[in-house]
Amino acid sequence: MDINLFKLCSGLKVLGYFMILLVAAIIAVSYYAVVVITCGPQLLRGGVHSFFGFSIIILFHILLVMLVWSYVMVVFWDPGSVPENWRSVSVSSSSSSGVNLEAGTSSQSLDNVGPDARGPSRSVGFCDRCQNGKPPRCHHCSVCQRCVLKMDHHCVWVVNCVGARNYKFYQVLGQSQRNHSSSPANLAIVFLAFVINLAFALSLLCFIVMHSSLVSSNTTSIEVYEKKRTVRWKYDLGRKKNFEQVFGTNKALWFFPLFSKEDSDSIPALHGLDFPTC
């Protein structure tokens, strides 16, 4: 009996659901440690401590809302999938040398088009597993069992792929906190919250450093090795424009998991089907 290893990869989704529960538990323990144990007694005592505790609680809730909001968006927002029956259709040499992209995309001149295209320079490809066309920077995810637009990687922490339409939300995650307690039980909870959040924060810091570098060069995690084989990365438009390809041009929404309607309409890269090149 033949075993499809790619279908077995979809079993990682089950692991992802446990990760979501783990994140929820970390948030619950952190909330109890910061709000109930640390700052709650200060608010009851009043005075200067009350003002300090109130300020910490306000800051903590702002960070908590941003964290949960961003996390939920990454979990539930579609990273972008290829439209059904999206294929590159070669135009006959007698009429034109360009190609027409179905499913509502615009016509453009491309090299190495179709399922027989090979090498890192191809713009449009074909997925044998999905039996569908592959837009530029699109990759097949063996866990999700589909092609994902501008796929960066599959993240087990969110049971979802990080791609063209939710990459910004993935970038906005972060967390921090402090310590005060009286009873041994409360001290143990605060210490546990501190250790968990420290480990969580350090792991996120590594991701922030790595993905900040990727954003500055307009590269995904999958494309890092492909980029090394080229003299100049064709999607690198300069740091400012590279940043806008992910976060948009509306500065007020840069650090919120949202896109303005103007950016959604004017920046093709946010849809994952078409990308400007240098």
pLDDT in tens, 209-237: 888 999 999 999 999 888 888 888 999 99
In the listed set 36, 57, 73, which residue is the last one of a domain according to the structure? Answer: 73
pLDDT at 49: 56
Whether 258 is in a domain gets the answer yes
* pLDDT of 129 above 80: yes
Q: Which two tokens stand for residue 45?
A: 């005592």
Distance CA 21, CA 32 (A): 17
- Regarding whether 249 and 196 lie in a shared domain, the answer is yes
Whether 40 is in a domain gets the answer yes
- Regarding whether 134 and 62 lie in a shared domain, the answer is no
pLDDT at 53: 64
Whether 178 is in a domain gets the answer no
* pLDDT of 111 above 60: no
- What range does the domain containing 68 cover? 11-73
Give the residue ranges of DSSP H helices in 150-218: 167-171, 184-216
Whether 254 is in a domain gets the answer yes
pLDDT tier, 52 (very low <50, low <70, confident <90, very high otherwise): low
What mean pLDDT, rounded, does the chain reach? 75
- Output 227 or 194, whichever has higher pLDDT: 227
Lowest average pLDDT, out of 69-73, 82-86, 172-176, 212-216, goes to 172-176
Whether 111 is in a domain gets the answer no
pLDDT at 114: 39
pLDDT tier, 139 (very low <50, low <70, confident <90, very high otherwise): very high
Active site residues: 155
* pLDDT of 181 above 60: no
Distance CA 32, CA 29 (A): 5
Whether 220 is in a domain gets the answer yes
Three-class secondary structure of residue 269 per DSSP: helix
Q: Are 132 and 85 a contacting pair, CB within 8 Å?
A: yes
pLDDT at 138: 92
pLDDT at 178: 43
Q: Are 124 and 99 a contacting pair, CB within 8 Å?
A: yes
* pLDDT of 113 above 60: no
pLDDT at 238: 92
The Cβ of residue 190 has, within 10 Å, a number of other Cβ atoms equal to 22
Whether 115 is in a domain gets the answer no
Which has the closest alpha carbon to 232: 272, 278, 265?
A: 278
- Regarding whether 261 and 214 lie in a shared domain, the answer is yes
Please, what is the end-to-end C-alpha distance for the chain in angstroms? 49
* pLDDT of 95 above 80: no
- Residue 157 burial by Cβ neighbours in a 10 Å radius (0-12, 13-18, 19+): middle
* pLDDT of 46 above 70: no
Burial 86-118 (b: 16+ CB within 10 A, else e): bbbeeeeeeeeeebebeeebeeeebeebbeebe
* pLDDT of 208 above 60: yes
pLDDT at 108: 36
- Read off the pLDDT of residues 157-178 as tens digits, 9 standing for 90 and up: 888 899 999 998 888 764 633 4
In the listed set 73, 90, 111, which residue is the last one of a domain according to the structure? Answer: 73
- Regarding whether 152 and 210 lie in a shared domain, the answer is no
Lowest average pLDDT, out of 31-40, 137-146, 168-177, goes to 168-177
Domains held by the chain: number:
3
Q: Which two tokens stand for residue 236?
A: 């690198």
Whether 133 is in a domain gets the answer yes
pLDDT tier, 191 (very low <50, low <70, confident <90, very high otherwise): low
Distance CA 27, CA 158 (A): 15
